[in-house]
Amino acid sequence: MITSWRKYADSHPRTVDVSVALLLFVSTVTATVITSSDPTSLTLLWTAALVEAVGCAALLWHRSHPRTVVVITVLCAGAGGLLGFLLSPLLMAPAMVALYWLALGADRRTARVHCLVAIVLLVPTTLVPAHSHHIPLVFKTVNVAFSVALPVLLGTAVQLRRAYFGEVLARAEYAERTREEEARHRVAEERMRIARELHDVVAHHLALANAQAGTAAHLARTQPDQVQRILTDLAGTTSSALRELKATVGLLRQTNDPDAPLEPSPGLGQLSDLTAAFTSAGLRVTVTTEGVPHRLSPGLDLTAFRIVQEALTNVTKHAAAHTAHVRLVHSPALLTIRVTDDGEGTAPTAPAPGHGFGLIGMRERAHSVGGRLRAGHRPEGGFEVTAELPLPPRNNPPHPGHTEPEEDRDS
């Protein structure tokens, strides 16, 4: 019922205003008849009715001129008091309604000022000697002050309640938008992560398999006895590709932490297998380690391995190189990876249509752990990829089985 009335009031505001004004006019006329100091004086009654009609009619403009309406209704109520009528709530009803509507829409300071002005104007009218009502003066003055203050207090309370619920609703909507944005952000991050994994696995193994197949085709004409070894390596490469693809696709079905690395997770401990695979494809890779290696977290270990893997894959795909060098520098706060080659070709440094996703993926991997990556041509020839990955404080022992080398270790 209340909801229906609110909907009707919102859709027919003018009808509601006219109805309220008519009802208030009836109440004020009734109050003048009951509390008239001279009920037999028709002139007095008609004068009071005219004054109250002006006050009630003014309510029709309360939406556009709320302050002016308050002043008019208060003056009309005061005129009724000066004519000898008792300032009862019925007689002051138009002023009370105007003050209530003002308190609903205006700031609290404005509502308080108009409330005080109304009290100052109306209370003195209770002292007019024309009153013949045998009512204590204290009661009459308190009644007027209370009748004026009550609608202001109610209107302010309703305004605060609406503001509170509006704030609650705004916070709920903001929280909902935040949850949706966070969900979209996590989905986008997960898509990027899976895309990087697929690119690294597919690009590396296909490039390696292509190089091994080309080597096998060349040796079939020149050194047939070496073909069997190359084909065996090729079978191992494709088998490894299938395993990693299966693990990557399995990431789509994970229900636990999406930031956890794939299992089993490759790391720098598998560099020897990685370099051996490239050797079978005709690229000689050396690895140099400096400093005392940290015990890397699985995520950081995977990132370092993928950067080396992709850098060497780019050497195979884009550079006419015979050798490549991987240098790992372990410092207390940083792991520096530098991959160089002696090739004469070029590795893409910016993505062209359909190309360049290797470098983009390496940079994204480095940034994901708070590091950075640089790539470019060397002055002495060839290409160089350098990644700097931050390490946690050294509060753990070195990697098991490690003894600090007296000089660089090559493999």
Per-residue HEC secondary structure of the chain comes to CHHHHHHHHHHCHHHHHHHHHHHHHHHHHHHHHHHCCCCCCHHHHHHHHHHHHHHHHHHHHCCCCHHHHHHHHHHHHHHHHHCCCCCCCCCCHHHHHHHHHHHHHCCHHHHHHHHHHHHHHHHHHHHCCCCCCCCCHHHHHHHHHHHHHHHHHHHHHHHHHHHHHHHHHHHHHHHHHHHHHHHHHHHHHHHHHHHHHHHHHHHHHHHHHHHHHHHHHHHHHHCHHHHHHHHHHHHHHHHHHHHHHHHHHHHHHCCCCCCCCCCCCCCHHHHHHHHHHHHHCCCEEEEEEECCCCCCCHHHHHHHHHHHHHHHHHHHHHCCCCEEEEEEEECCCEEEEEEEECCCCCCCCCCCCCCCHHHHHHHHHHHHCCCEEEEEECCCCCEEEEEEEECCCCCCCCCCCCCCCCCCEEC
CB 28 within 8 A of CB 86: no
* pLDDT number for residue 349: 39
Q: Are strands 334-341 and 383-390 parallel, antiparallel or unpaired?
A: antiparallel
Look up tokens 């003055």; give the residue. 141
* pLDDT number for residue 271: 87
* pLDDT number for residue 352: 39
CB 33 within 8 A of CB 84: no
* pLDDT number for residue 185: 82
Structure tokens, 116: 């005080």
Per residue of the chain (411 residues), give pLDDT as tens.
556 766 766 777 788 888 888 988 888 888 887 776 666 577 878 888 898 889 889 988 988 898 999 999 999 988 888 887 888 888 888 999 999 999 988 888 898 899 999 998 888 887 765 555 567 777 778 888 898 999 999 999 998 998 899 889 888 888 888 888 888 888 787 777 777 767 666 666 666 677 767 777 777 777 777 777 777 777 776 776 676 666 666 655 555 555 555 445 678 888 888 888 787 777 888 999 998 888 888 888 888 888 998 888 888 777 667 889 999 999 988 999 999 988 765 444 334 333 456 788 788 888 888 899 998 888 888 889 999 999 877 544 444 444 443 333 333
* pLDDT number for residue 265: 67
Query: What distance in Å separates the CA atoms of residue 248 and residue 191, rounded to the nearest whole number?
Result: 12
How open is the CA angle 332-359-325, to the nearest 5 degrees? 60
Query: What distance in Å separates the CA atoms of residue 280 and residue 103, rounded to the nearest whole number?
Result: 86
Query: What distance in Å separates the CA atoms of residue 318 and residue 312, rounded to the nearest whole number?
Result: 10
